[in-house]
Structure 1
């Protein structure tokens, strides 16, 4: 199944990524009496291999392409674009699979964090050799430019998230140009998420930030062990090659190739040996891939979540009573069974858009505000003036209670999910009309809010879930695709960002999320594992959780 990821979590908003796929059945392989675990899988499975155990050379090929907006800081960017970006731009801060911060010495030779008088300062000393491909030194001005483009002070920037950047009061030159001193208003505990990558000062100019990366790469503004070798804008295929201007560890691969293929074509290409990994989209796909000579299945946890989003700006869904009734009519357990059918995997129903059940900060906020109850939904629709018509579909003021559901692509699980939702809502008196759209229409459907209901997901790029609270629920954020919220709730949401202790901040964020979920505009449905079918010997690729292996560490075992 192609994951359709829509909202920014940390740095990314995303679509169609090679990570979630084979989710398994609540019945299969576990027996009818098997109990649902208390948390989703938090395991990683990616064949971790030291750099010196990798052979020099080889090509790594997967399905994927460059999405319309290639700047990961832009609100219209996707996870696919973020991953492509990482192959020819800085990877300065990464996280371990479980979320521990890792500084890349090829970019940051030293990092110091201090708090004095309640004010946090982060001093970033940049590698003396670090330079963009056009020769511009990577220095304090890149950190400053990245901050200015994302802090929300200039509304002309279509920034994915201002969270955290808006708590920085200054970025100044340190002892020399190679040192940036970042000063915060108060303490911002999850600051590493802000500078995991950064922009060339030219790329941070407003027109370039918004438009320069639209269907275009800018390798001259990039940096890293690889750079763009060939970019076919017609086919969408991309080839990365070693970067002669790279000062750090040499990339092990000769080439990194993305081939633009839909999920079915990608499955066949993998079976024919043309791709090095693929994500099986359902149980049948996994069955075809299991046991293929020279391949193996890698499956682990997944910091992904899929939610049903309600466009509160569409006429019927502007009524909160209607949204609540629809959510009460949806049996999330049945949706999960469809997604997990035929695979040996179980997880509890997700209760938050911020945290995952394998994280200590997680709380089941959905259950606190919503109970499955079609009969209750009928009563609420009656009270809201929606009366059953002669055909069973409710009416009010001559208007039918008819809701559109946008189905992207031809994925079998997507079709099955749409069918299940239709069947669940019909007895309550709601007609769900399936509106089909191509995968390639994903960005325009979401960004222009051309939907009533849509299923999409998000991948967390870092473990700081509370940081995403405003991106999901603030009424004044483009990234809040539902359009729900209020200035009063926005104020409560933003107040959580000022809490210096991560545990206390998470607790506050959970409380506010419960209030936000009472707008009944977003309903978490499932997460599932990350499952890959991979050619044997491919190292540092697979279910990595919060970890993003550095490009130079990806390759083939000796």
Structure 2
């Protein structure tokens, strides 16, 4: 599942990123260029890797988050944010539905999946007569915090809640679950036999994230996590010690019921903070990491004592997130005109000003440019104000007495929403606004607080946002989430594309399957113009000196922590 996030500010405490070099200079960050296909991705990892046994045992890690709820179900549309997932991963890797670890699976830095043996010791697949049988050996010790065994009942409930059959359940993406015919016990309840109506690929599209058997109806799934973390329905190396909605903090400590590797840290503290507050908090030693993805933030953080800079490329795609169900944007001609009016390079120049970062292409919502399967699917080649006006003119729009393009007396008028108070964020939004205004559109700015991000996106309370989604190594789940007509948030698509999306999930060959997904994206963008990738961008992180096993981790981590049990402080740096 792709998680939505903003293009800047502090969307999460330690957002998805890749790092090629460390440190900046007094005049600004070191020069860096985005990796293209075939690049050496080993240069994009920087975590200060240390063996857990060599670290000082104990210590506290304090991180900021832009969101702290209010909904803690990361599998629902309302709770589907990168920030929520980052907060939940230490205490509930069993339930994570995306990122570097979740349920039966964990990813390496390249995005290759293997069984997460804390929960699923072995996953075997056999295809016979066009049908697939998947046998899962569940860890005998795997148990939810309330004592409920993680066994066949958990897997059956995960399938039933995720398959999309009950339309009242607010799932983000049914993925391959509709292809599952049955989930039954094998030799015992810890052996799970999954049969499918047709082969499913990649295999990790199933049970990447498990749902507690108690979360078995739409009311509990949709509303049961509002303001309630439900730690009893979790399983992980840490547990929630205290959730304080007034102080906007969550404290986590080692889970005495955890059967896997014991964590190094004795405490994790998450603090909900506006991005502007994180700068002083980091400089004063109140938090241990914060991002510097804009020049303003970098300059304010530069020179902080007992800190180092880790930088690289972010696993992010976005910039144009259109709500096609809003009255102003229901006409595909208007959406096409928006795509046509946008000068992507000009926006990137503003967004990356002073960061010594450049990227040539950012044209897919599903894959990064360094992926061997990537292609630039941005649907418009002839761009600019006049080209955009022609799109509208050809669709029957004419300029009114104020110079605004209108049809049947209704002008093209909408708002661009962005989050936070960073000057670069404001400048980026204003640049987009001017490009659209030059094309004859009446566009105003709607500024919201960073803490409103999850609520605004989850409730679809916007026309167009400067936001996007995290990016995975494989496009199969993304193509369904973004482009299948009954799954994507705009409900845009058609039977022909839906059939191709269903077919590609049965393709075993990774290259062939991802190529097919790229072609679906290309066709959907050309027909419907609902999401447009303007940028990917860098990740620049200021980190407290001595923090080990933390940092840019490619696909291995959603929260910059490759393994929450090994993160800790070097000896002498313990906090």
TM-score by structure 1 length?
0.91
Give 2:567's aligned residue: 554
Counterparts of 1:204-353 in structure 2, within 5 Å, are 204-353=216-365
Q: Separation in 2 of the partners of 1:21 and 1:390?
A: 48
Give 1:358's aligned residue: 370
Give 1:545's aligned residue: 554
- On the 8 A contact 1:282/1:413 being kept in 2, the answer is yes
Give 2:131's aligned residue: 119
In the alignment of these two chains, the number of paired residues is 541
Counterparts of 1:10-49 in structure 2, within 5 Å, are 12-14=3-5, 16-17=11-12, 18-19=14-15, 38=36, 42=41, 43-49=44-50
- On the 8 A contact 1:44/1:299 being kept in 2, the answer is no
Q: Separation in 2 of the partners of 1:53 and 1:330?
A: 51
Deviation at 1:265, TM superposition (A): 0.3
Classify the secondary structure of the residue corresponding to 1:121: strand
Specify which of 450, 457, 467 is matched with residue 439 of structure 1.
Answer: 450
- 1:159 correspondence with 2:168: no
Specify which of 419, 424, 436 is matched with residue 435 of structure 2.
Answer: 424
- On the 8 A contact 2:251/2:268 being kept in 1, the answer is yes
Give 1:56's aligned residue: 57
Classify the secondary structure of the residue corresponding to 1:552: coil
Give 1:500's aligned residue: 508
Segment drifting more, 247-256 vs 199-208: 199-208
Deviation at 1:387, TM superposition (A): 2.1
Counterparts of 1:471-550 in structure 2, within 5 Å, are 471-477=481-487, 480-518=488-526, 519-548=528-557, 549-550=562-563
- On the 8 A contact 2:312/2:552 being kept in 1, the answer is yes
Deviation at 1:217, TM superposition (A): 1.1
Question: Would the alpha carbon gap of residues 551 and 283 (structure 1) be closer, same or farther in structure 2, given more than 3 Å must change?
Answer: same
Deviation at 1:38, TM superposition (A): 4.0
Give 2:195's aligned residue: 183
- On the 8 A contact 2:549/2:563 being kept in 1, the answer is no
Deviation at 1:434, TM superposition (A): 1.2
Q: Separation in 1 of the partners of 2:178 and 2:58?
A: 43
Classify the secondary structure of the residue corresponding to 2:390: helix
Q: Deviations over 1:260-293 (max 9, x none)?
A: 1111101110011111100114113213323422
Classify the secondary structure of the residue corresponding to 2:280: helix
Classify the secondary structure of the residue corresponding to 1:241: strand
Classify the secondary structure of the residue corresponding to 1:366: coil
Q: Deviations over 1:33-64 (max 9, x none)?
A: x9986459941222222222222100010101
- 1:141 correspondence with 2:150: no
Deviation at 1:156, TM superposition (A): 2.5
Q: Separation in 1 of the partners of 2:35 and 2:165?
A: 45
- On the 8 A contact 2:18/2:313 being kept in 1, the answer is no
Segment drifting more, 40-49 vs 103-112: 40-49
Give 2:98's aligned residue: none
TM-score by structure 2 length?
0.88
Q: Deviations over 1:327-384 (max 9, x none)?
A: 11110001111111111221123111111111111111115x5432332222222222
- 1:87 correspondence with 2:90: yes
Structure 1 outlier segments of 4+, above 6 Å: 21-24, 28-31, 34-37
Deviation at 1:204, TM superposition (A): 3.5
- On the 8 A contact 2:309/2:543 being kept in 1, the answer is yes
- On the 8 A contact 1:111/1:123 being kept in 2, the answer is yes
Question: Would the alpha carbon gap of residues 355 and 136 (structure 1) be closer, same or farther in structure 2, given more than 3 Å must change?
Answer: same
Q: Separation in 2 of the partners of 1:322 and 1:166?
A: 34
Give 1:468's aligned residue: 478
Classify the secondary structure of the residue corresponding to 2:340: helix
Classify the secondary structure of the residue corresponding to 2:554: coil
- On the 8 A contact 2:19/2:311 being kept in 1, the answer is no
- On the 8 A contact 1:309/1:523 being kept in 2, the answer is yes
Segment drifting more, 547-556 vs 261-270: 547-556
- On the 8 A contact 2:291/2:542 being kept in 1, the answer is yes
Question: Would the alpha carbon gap of residues 59 and 503 (structure 1) be closer, same or farther in structure 2, given more than 3 Å must change?
Answer: same
Deviation at 1:530, TM superposition (A): 2.3
Q: Deviations over 1:222-273 (max 9, x none)?
A: 1121100010012320000111111121111110110111111011100111
Q: Separation in 1 of the partners of 2:134 and 2:426?
A: 49
Q: Separation in 2 of the partners of 1:341 and 1:541?
A: 27
Classify the secondary structure of the residue corresponding to 1:475: coil
Q: Separation in 2 of the partners of 1:111 and 1:265?
A: 45
- 1:67 correspondence with 2:63: no
Structure 2: gaps of 5 or more residues: 21-27, 95-101
- On the 8 A contact 1:21/1:280 being kept in 2, the answer is no
Question: Would the alpha carbon gap of residues 448 and 30 (structure 1) be closer, same or farther in structure 2, given more than 3 Å must change?
Answer: closer
Deviation at 1:510, TM superposition (A): 1.2
Q: Separation in 2 of the partners of 1:211 and 1:552?
A: 31
Deviation at 1:487, TM superposition (A): 3.8
- On the 8 A contact 2:35/2:370 being kept in 1, the answer is no
Q: Deviations over 1:158-215 (max 9, x none)?
A: 1121011112222111211111122223222222243233122112443322222111
Classify the secondary structure of the residue corresponding to 1:257: strand
Structure 1: gaps of 5 or more residues: 1-7
